[in-house]
Structure 1
Amino acid sequence: MTTLLDTDDLETAHRMLSLIYGVRRLAPADARSSLRVRQDDLGSFQLHHVTWGMNAEVTGDQMGCYYFGHMIDGGVTYQVGGDTITFSAGETFLCAYPDQPIQVASEGMNGHFVALDAALLAQVAATAPTRVAESVRFTARYPATGSGAAAWLDTCAYVRDTFVPEPVATSPLLLGGAARFLAAIALATFPNNALRDPTIEDRRDAHPRSLRRAVAFIDDNAHRDIGPADIAAAADVTIRSLQLAFRRHLDITPTAYLRRVRLSRAHQDLLAADPVTETVTAVAGRWGFPSHSRFATDYRAVYGTTPSHTLRRG
C-alpha cells in the first residue's frame, strides 16, 4: 500500500504525519510549510522518501520499528535520551528504535528511509542457539565500515527500484525475500548484539539427517514464503547449523538451494503454460525472481535456453 502526502498546508501536514509516524507536535521554525512524504508499506518493511520544504521541530510517539536513513540533502537532529545527534547530507544512519519516542528538528531534510520490524530482524539474526528468536539491539547508529554502508545503500536502491513505483510486489515470495534480504544486510552493516559464529552445538547438529529434513521441507514448500528460519525450524536445528549442513554436504547455501528448486518449478510452469495468456515475467515473479534479466541468466545457465523460448515451444 502506498501513501502519498504533498502539501503546503500545515494542518494537513500535521494530520498526515500523525497518521504515518505518530507525530503529536509539529512546530515550524519559519514561514514555509511544504512537506512531501511517500510511504510504501510492504508488510514487514516500509520504504519512505521524506522531503521537508521547511525547518520544523517534531515530537511523536514510539516508532514501533527500526528506521534506517540516508540523507540526500539538508539535515536532521534527533534528541535521543540525553543525547543530541545530527545527521547531515550524504550520511547513512540508524535514526529510530522501536521503543523510543521521536524528538526531531528538521533542517530542510530530504532523505530515504527503510523501516524494519524488530521481529523480522530477530528471526533473521537467530541470536539464540536454542532456536528461540531473541530481540536484536543495535549498538551504534552508523555503519561499521564504509563498504558496509555502500552495500546497504546498494541493497536499498535495488529494493526501491524493484518495488517502487511498480509494485510487482504482490507476490509473497518477492516480498518475503526482499524483507529478509534487507534485514540481513542491516544486521551485517550496523553493529548489533546478534551472534554470528556457529556454536559447538551448531556444528554437532549439522549432520545429514538435518539436511534431509531441510531438503524435504524446501521441496514441499517452495511455493510458500519461506526463509532460513522456517527451514531451520522444520529441520529442528539452528540457522547456523542449517547453513553448516548445506555447506558441508551440498556445497551450497540453503537460500541457493531454495532458489534452485524454485527455478525448476518455474521451468515446469513455462513448459505447461499457454504463451498467449502467460508471460515470463509473471512466472518469474510467482516463483520469487524480481529481476527478468537475472532470471533469464540463471535459467539459461541451467537449461541452455531462454525462458521465453521455453514458453513459446512448451
Structure 2
Amino acid sequence: MAAPERRITTRELTDADAIHDYLVTMYGTAMRMTCTDERYRFHHRRTDAGPFALESVEQFNHLDFAVDPLRLLVIARVSTARMERCCGRVDGRYAADDLFLVADPDLPYTLRWLPGAITCCVMDPGLLARVASPAPGRRPEPIRFTGLDPCSPAAAAHWWNTRRYVAGLLDDRETAAVPLLVDSAAQLLAAATLATFPNTALVDPTIEDRHDASDTTLRRALAYIDDHAAEDVSLAGIAEAAHVSVRAVQLAFRRHLDTTPMAYLRRVRLDHAHRALIAADPEKTTVAAVAARWGFANHSRFTAIYRATYGVLPSATLRGSS
C-alpha cells in the first residue's frame, strides 16, 4: 500500500490579488476579500497528507472575507490574531488560544481577520464516517455539526494535543512516509474533532446495535482485522466487514473481549512487529523501522508496550537474545 504523498507548500505574498487567487486555489471555492491597508504581507505553510492538511498562516492586515460553502472542515486555533466569524445564525469572536470550526461545510460565511497568526486543520468531511458512522443502513444521513465551538475547554485541549502529535509525525520525513502512521493520524484527528465539537453522530448503541453485538459479529470483525492488519484499517471498515454498525462492533468487542476494535488491532500489529524483529537481521534494520512499519510512531511508547507484553526490550529480540 503506497503512503499518501506528503506535500509541503509555503507561500509569502505581498499582493492582494495574489493572496485572493492563492486562497481560492487552495480551498477550491469562490470568495471575496477586502483589505483596509494597501500594504500586504501574507505567509502560508501547508503540510498536505491526503484526506487532511495542517496549516499555519500569518498576516499583517485587516482582512474581510465573504466565502462560499467550503465543502471542507476547517478547524482553526488563534495564535496571536483576533477573528470574527458569521455562519448562518452563528456568530463568534475569537482571540489567542481559542479553537473553533471556521464554518459549517455546507454554508457560506463571513470572516474578519485582524493582524496575527492562526493554525488550521483542513479535513475532508468524509473522513468522519471512518471513525463514527451514524448506524450504517439504518441512518444514512451524513454527520452534521450542530455547533461551531468546542463542547468544553477540556475537549478543546484534547483536540490541540492531538493536532500537535500529528504535526510532529508529519514533520518527520520517515514517519510521514509510513502508510499505517498517516492513516492512524487521520483517524485520530477525525475522532478528536467529533469528540470536541457538537454533532449528530450517535454516541450510544441502539436496540439494533445491542442485538447485532453477537459472537458472529465478533468473529467477522476479528477475521477482518487479522487479514488486513498491514493495511489501512478503520472502524467503519471493520463494521462493514462484519455487516453491522460501528456502534455494534464496538459493543461486541466490549461485551466479549473487554477491549475495543482498535486496541485489538494494535495487539495484532504488535504481534506482527514481534515476529518481524525475531526474523530481522540486526545489521540491516532497526527497532524504530519495524515499529513504524506496523504503525507505532512513538518509539518509547512502543518499547514500553513491547516490554509489558513480551517481558524483554524489542532491541533484545532484534539481537536474538530474547
Bigger CA drift: 128-137 or 73-82? Answer: 128-137
CA distance in 2, matches of 1:128, 1:238: 5
1:7 is matched with 13
Identify the match of residue 312 of structure 1 among 310, 316, 319. 319
> Where do 5+ consecutive residues of structure 2 fail to align?
1-6
Correspondence list, 1:167-186, <5 A = 168-186=175-193
Bigger CA drift: 110-119 or 258-267? Answer: 110-119
Does the CA-based 8 Å contact 1:65-1:98 persist in structure 2? yes
State the Cα deviation string for residues 120-165 of structure 1 (Å, max 9, x = none). 1133221125366531111111111121111111111111122125
AA partner of residue 4 (structure 1): T
AA partner of residue 161 (structure 2): D
TM-score normalised by structure 2 residue count: 0.91
Q: Percent identity?
A: 43
Does the CA-based 8 Å contact 1:36-1:52 persist in structure 2? yes
1:143 is matched with 150
Report the Cα offset of residue 273 of structure 1. Answer: 1.6
1:51 is matched with 58
Bigger CA drift: 43-52 or 255-264? Answer: 43-52
More strand by share: 1
Correspondence list, 1:23-172, <5 A = 24-81=31-88, 84-128=91-135, 130=137, 134-164=141-171, 166=173, 168-172=175-179
AA partner of residue 273 (structure 2): A
CA distance in 1, matches of 2:140, 2:84: 33
Does the CA-based 8 Å contact 2:44-2:55 persist in structure 1? yes
Report the Cα offset of residue 300 of structure 1. Answer: 0.9
TM-score normalised by structure 1 residue count: 0.93
Does the CA-based 8 Å contact 2:130-2:234 persist in structure 1? no
**Any idea what SS the aligned residue of 2:46 has?**
strand
CA distance in 1, matches of 2:16, 2:286: 46
Bigger CA drift: 295-304 or 75-84? Answer: 75-84
State the Cα deviation string for residues 75-104 of structure 1 (Å, max 9, x = none). 122232365432222211111232233432
State the Cα deviation string for residues 253-298 of structure 1 (Å, max 9, x = none). 1100000000010111111122222122221111111111111111
CA distance in 2, matches of 1:82, 1:150: 26
CA RMSD of aligned residues (A): 2.0
CA distance in 1, matches of 2:39, 2:154: 38
Q: Which runs of 4+ in 1 moved over 6 A?
A: none
Report the Cα offset of residue 8 of structure 1. Answer: 2.9
Inter-CA distance 294–122: structure 2 relative to 1 (3 Å threshold): same
**Any idea what SS the aligned residue of 1:2 has?**
strand
- The yes-or-no answer on 1:264 pairing with 2:271 is yes
Inter-CA distance 82–238: structure 2 relative to 1 (3 Å threshold): closer
Identify the match of residue 236 of structure 1 among 236, 239, 243. 243
2:3 is matched with none
Inter-CA distance 132–241: structure 2 relative to 1 (3 Å threshold): same
Does the CA-based 8 Å contact 2:88-2:108 persist in structure 1? no
CA distance in 1, matches of 2:172, 2:217: 41
CA distance in 2, matches of 1:32, 1:167: 40
Inter-CA distance 18–167: structure 2 relative to 1 (3 Å threshold): farther
Does the CA-based 8 Å contact 1:122-1:133 persist in structure 2? no
AA partner of residue 229 (structure 1): A
1:16 is matched with 22
AA partner of residue 15 (structure 1): D
